[in-house]
Amino acid sequence: MSSDSVIVTDKLARVTGVGVGEELTMTYSDGKSYAAKVTGIVDNYIMHYIYMSPGIYAELIGETPYPNSVLFFYENGKPPPSSAAPGGRGGFAMPLLENSNVRALIHNDDLMSQISGSADAMGIVTIVLIVLACALAFVVLFNLTNINISERIRELATMKVLGLHDSELAMYIYRENGVVTLLGVALGLIGGFFLHGYVITTVEIDILKFPKLIYPLSYVFAVALTLVFAVFVNFAMNYKLARIDMVESLKNVE
């Protein structure tokens, strides 16, 4: 940070609609409003923050800033022995909280556990959506294939009369299904990228920001599941192709 830096977190910038070089209006605890020009935007996923140099703070508010929080780290990333005593972290926290100058003690581990719990809940929702998407893919592919065969029953019966075996007749339908499936996969991967961003943005609340990450393996699973259902539907339709009544089908008038 430089001496004139005013940096805001990206979700705050999005909610307030400000960008780099624009002024952000802040209301201080005394009810007065102050405007500062934003010099940068940084990533942050929980809560909103404004980072500014002491000089800018003193210039805006008219007071000398003083630290009111302390960030400290456990040695080697482990709590001190007193926190392992009965009462857990309380053995380490109680002496601090008994000090009248200490208002609260927040453990980052606790915050991480809360966020992990929320993420686990989102994971369950994601699994449910995947299962429903798979069911929808099966129903759509099955109905499309069934309608395709039903509407072209005379054409297929004629081809069967001309000597095509059941396997050749099946491949005639399956090739069309394959082309439609591949087109759907291509369009779905492209549209899914934008739909993912929209859904993630929609489910966010004001104080949270979810990272918009799609791993390559997710695309692989999406394509693989779609192809598996397409193959399964094709095999399921074998019985209908094999049961085409050539005589009755040719008698029907369109």
Q: Where are the alpha helices (DSSP H) in 152-215?
A: 153-161, 166-203
What Cα–Cα distance (Å) separates residue 138 from each residue in 101, 152, 187?
63, 21, 17
Strand ranges (E), the chain: 6-9, 23-27, 33-37, 40-42, 50-52
**pLDDT confidence band for 249 (50 / 70 / 90):** low
Percent of the chain with pLDDT over 70: 89
Q: What is the pLDDT of residue 87?
A: 41
Between the CA of residue 204 and those of 44, 45, 96, 133, 159, what are the distances in Å?
Answer: 13, 10, 35, 22, 56
What residues are paired with 25 via a beta bridge? 35
**More reliable by pLDDT, 39 or 176:** 39
pLDDT value at residue 84: 44
- The token pair at 198 is 């929209």
Encode pLDDT of 12-46 as tens digits.
888 888 888 888 888 877 788 888 889 999 998 88
Residue spans per domain, the chain:
1-66, 71-106, 118-251
Task: Identify which of 62-66, 79-83, 107-111, 169-173 has the greatest average pLDDT.
Answer: 62-66
Residues 6+ apart with CB under 8 A from 144: 177, 180
